[in-house]
Structure 1
């Protein structure tokens, strides 16, 4: 069995073996290595090395009955998914898309068709817009480069092509994209950078914070700036320096400043007060701002240097701040 695959813009500049491993997930890597060496896999009619970087418009000729492209790879059934939620867009260009994730929405699907799925909504939006033909992409899927908890509202960044997604992931890892949160917490806290160690308890599905490093724990850091306080609660801006699961929520609990409305890490009594007074049902934590600084000039997205993207805060949160602190944000 012979098949031909033309390399598109979203597949270029990848190692031949790594590309094939992503495309044919059910084929063992040593089998792919063997077929490249023997010439059962050729590029533009020629044998190539395993580490050859594939280029746009390269033609791969593949011999072997076990190389089968799945029918459910990256495409989505637009007929089945007509009732999608159009994403709330804060910024978009040819490389990236920044959208607002609502409360009670997952960044990625949990397999339940009834659950709100931001990634699927974004893929549908781009498909309907004809920016991307998802069914023609071999291994690329528009995907988020940062995550938020299900009940955290805020900004999520998606790459619209393979190169931009890789570069965004590098920037996140290097902490070149700064992520800012607005949050309402119990009590008072001082401005400053707070460092601790975190470990995930899978059984409890909770992150536990420690003052000192313990086995399997990871260092966490956040910078806190107090915007206002009335003694009972404080409005903070947090610059998230590291990004771990439930980091802000568990770290603030550890500091005795739990987030108002947080069911898992918060103060039940304070949550009930804000539920009765304002109807608060989720943690008052909002990923409201992104700042891009220090992007390498050789990157395709270097034009984003000095770019700041801000999401509008929910009206409920604005009303709480106005009544509790007599200020407008």
Structure 2
């Protein structure tokens, strides 16, 4: 069993216990940490703490007991998924909103990888047992297109295209505010938030180059529907960049401070287009996925709000 010990600094005082531990142990998910708390694996000042909402105090001594990992085996699961295209080398999947792409500690079931293992005979082995075939990811609450590699040759080719920024990735997003410009480019480095380690942010130090191009598709009074094209692919890039220019995504639980007027079930963001050179055929291929119904419903609500004014 692994044991980690921490003493809370004044800058972290007031954080929820699970948030604090997640910031210290970034390789563990919040859900896994919450299970550790429930199972009595967390001690505060010598006593076990089972209340997840406990807020840490300066000089609290926190001890985390991390059990030995179970022998990992990600199982195929008969979960319906929308396969847009498949051949011997690649699979293009239209991921629904709410589905996690690959398993993580404490969450080994119900993911896209579980579904792919059931649907496909082979997936590339480059990313190991947890992420077979996964070349790139989109967030749980982002819907849309993902490339998946069925063999290592395809994986290496697609990964190299990502590295060279030659893959065409276009998203549709609904954001707060009426964007005046017809189009624009956000060129601002992204890195881990200096205080909240669960978030990303535009940073001056230790950030990675990040470029997002956007254009306005429609304006709905207090909202704008935009197309965002990624030149780079940083974690949460569109969400962070749009919040940075004061147009956060509607429904974004992390980067938007706006009070929503309707239920959204996560950010209004959809990976609509993906284009790449086929790793074996050498041909350019491009795929599109229409905005899902849950996204269309949000737009309809906003359109009705505009008509009532």
Partner of 2:66: none
Bigger Rg, structure 1 or 2: 1
Partner of 2:3: none
Partner of 1:224: 214
2:95 is aligned, of 80, 96, 101, to 101
Equivalent position SS for 1:224? strand
1:268 deviates by 3.5
Matches within 5 A, 1:301-316: 301-303=281-283, 305=284, 307-316=285-294
> Separation in 2 of the partners of 1:206 and 1:259?
15
> Structure 1 residues 185, 163: CA separation in 2 closer, same or farther (over 3 Å shift)?
same
Matches within 5 A, 1:142-221: 142-189=132-179, 190=181, 191-201=183-193, 203-210=196-203, 214-221=204-211
Matches within 5 A, 1:17-96: 81=76, 83-96=77-90
Q: Runs of 5+ in structure 2 lacking a partner?
A: 1-70, 305-309
Matched, 1:257 2:247: yes
Matched, 1:117 2:111: yes
> Separation in 2 of the partners of 1:265 and 1:138?
32
Contact preservation (8 Å) 1:260, 1:267:
no
> Separation in 2 of the partners of 1:138 and 1:247?
24
1:274 deviates by 2.2
Equivalent position SS for 2:120? helix
Kindly report structure 1 stretches of 4+ aligned residues shifted beyond 6 Å. 137-141
1:218 deviates by 1.5
After superposition, give the CA deviation of every residue in 1:277-309 in whole Å (9 maximum; x if it has no partner). xxx1210011111123xx49xx52412x1x220
Instruction: Give the TM-score of the pair, scaled to structure 2.
Output: 0.67
Equivalent position SS for 1:119? helix
Contact preservation (8 Å) 2:126, 2:133:
no
Partner of 2:262: 274
Partner of 1:48: none
> Structure 1 residues 87, 316: CA separation in 2 closer, same or farther (over 3 Å shift)?
closer
Contact preservation (8 Å) 1:105, 1:115:
no
Matched, 1:285 2:269: yes
> Separation in 2 of the partners of 1:138 and 1:179?
22
1:84 deviates by 2.7
1:248 is aligned, of 225, 229, 238, to 238
1:267 deviates by 3.2
Kindly tell me the number of residue pairs found equivalent between the two proteins. 229
> Separation in 2 of the partners of 1:320 and 1:164?
37
1:231 deviates by 2.6
> Structure 1 residues 200, 140: CA separation in 2 closer, same or farther (over 3 Å shift)?
closer
> Separation in 1 of the partners of 2:217 and 2:223?
11
Q: Runs of 5+ in structure 1 lacking a partner?
A: 1-71
